[in-house]
């Protein structure tokens, strides 16, 4: 069996070879010629899996080592008889860390008070649930908005959009990118959305860039409809809007889910999916993030600092934002060569 693998997927080399012959290539540069003789692909979001890439190939199975899958043309894959999987929840706690630590920086800047803050979570799947846990740990009140879940489970425990618009001090997006169906998320935050806001909330997008309309967001920041924005996912990546980058409180290169812990989990899930598909049920993959020394950050109890300072010693999103604002033309490089952080 021949497997073509994105060369930026961490911890995979040396493990994937147990499945068969492997070829590694930059995910954004994979071509139809590259996949022609491959039986399986293990990719990230930078590889668009569609008819143009896959027609006439031997590919039987695709595993994307990511939560999102809007880079996969699922209709074409069904038509072509190609099975696929994503890795739901693999980096959910990493995104929770990113959002919570961004709130700590917003608090330091005097924009919110975490113990007197209502966070509206838009999309409460694997990631949104971890975000809820993380921000509640800071003392925040949470409003959960997820119409598909509310329809399936009942309205109890879920807020309406009207509730969010009226009460939330922070709005954070954790939806997939969908353009059709009962609840499309493409440009969910558009001009109309921003005009309905009453509390000048902070907006956080670490879901998919196209969930938020760039033009509307810039106008909202200009007019003061929102007090600040934290943007990790951007429209038109990697050619991001530099004017918007200059305006946001934090702007990072799509790395909210890039912890070593989350990446190890995604790699393991992808490899296990390939093994299952091809009947190699005896194979298991014990992929762990590298050992982490407690000496690498300060403990609040040891240093006599506030408990909320400790998470920022472990991971401070401000550093990633400064790097991107200084080198916006290196978005893809900063993302592809990101020094994976630890969650604990």
pLDDT of residue 339: 87
The answer on 55 and 124 residing in a single domain is no
Choice among 71, 254, 335, 342 that is catalytic: 254
| Residue 198 forms part of a structural domain | yes
Range of the domain at 225: 92-251
pLDDT of residue 292: 62
pLDDT of residue 305: 39
The answer on 15 and 149 residing in a single domain is no
| Residue 65 forms part of a structural domain | yes
- The predicted model scores a pTM of 0.85
Instruction: Tell me how far the alpha carbon of residue 89 is from its chain's centroid.
Output: 10
Choice among 71, 174, 208, 268 that is catalytic: 208
Number of C-beta neighbours around residue 21 at 10 A: 13
| Residue 289 forms part of a structural domain | no
Per-residue pLDDT reduced to its tens digit, 282-336: 999 999 888 765 544 433 334 443 445 578 988 999 999 999 999 999 999 999 8
Average pLDDT of the segment spanning 79-85: 98
Choice among 237, 277, 313, 322 that is catalytic: 237
The answer on 113 and 173 residing in a single domain is yes
71 is catalytic: no
Per-residue pLDDT reduced to its tens digit, 23-50: 999 999 999 999 999 999 999 999 999 9
342 is catalytic: no
| Residue 342 forms part of a structural domain | no
277 is catalytic: no
CATH at residue 99? 3.40.50.720
| Residue 300 forms part of a structural domain | no
Domain count, the chain: 2
């Amino acid at each position: 069996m021949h497997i073509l693998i994105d060369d930026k997927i961490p911890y995979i080399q040396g493990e994937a070879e147990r499945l068969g012959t492997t070829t590694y290539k930059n995910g954004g540069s994979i071509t139809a010629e590259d996949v022609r003789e491959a039986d399986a692909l293990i990719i990230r979001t930078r590889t668009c899996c569609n008819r143009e890439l896959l027609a006439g190939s031997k590919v039987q199975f695709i595993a994307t080592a990511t939560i999102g899958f809007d880079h996969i043309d699922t209709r074409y894959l069904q038509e072509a008889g190609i099975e696929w999987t994503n890795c739901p929840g693999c980096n959910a706690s990493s995104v929770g860390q990113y959002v919570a630590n961004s709130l700590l920086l917003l608090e330091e800047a005097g924009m919110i008070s975490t113990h007197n803050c209502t966070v509206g979570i838009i999309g409460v799947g694997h990631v949104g649930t971890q975000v809820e846990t993380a921000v509640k740990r800071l003392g925040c009140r949470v409003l959960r908005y997820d119409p598909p879940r509310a329809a399936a489970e009942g309205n109890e425990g879920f807020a309406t959009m009207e509730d969010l618009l009226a009460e939330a001090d922070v709005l954070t997006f954790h939806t997939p990118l969908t353009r059709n169906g009962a609840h499309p998320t493409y440009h969910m935050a558009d001009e109309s959305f921003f005009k309905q806001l009453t509390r000048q909330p902070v907006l956080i997008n670490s879901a998919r860039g196209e969930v938020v309309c760039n033009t509307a967001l810039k106008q909202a920041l200009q007019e003061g409809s929102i007090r600040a924005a934290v943007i990790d996912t951007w429209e038109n990546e990697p050619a991001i809007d530099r004017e918007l980058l200059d305006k946001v409180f934090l702007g990072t290169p799509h790395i909210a889910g890039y912890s070593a812990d989350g990446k190890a989990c995604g790699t393991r899930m992808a490899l296990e999916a390939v093994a299952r598909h091809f009947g190699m049920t005896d194979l298991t993959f014990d992929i762990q993030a590298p050992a982490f020394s407690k000496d690498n950050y300060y403990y609040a109890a040891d240093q006599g600092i506030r408990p909320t300072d400790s998470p920022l010693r472990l991971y401070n999103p401000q550093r990633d934002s400064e790097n991107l604002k200084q080198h916006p033309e290196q978005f893809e490089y900063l993302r592809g060569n990101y020094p994976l952080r630890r969650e604990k």
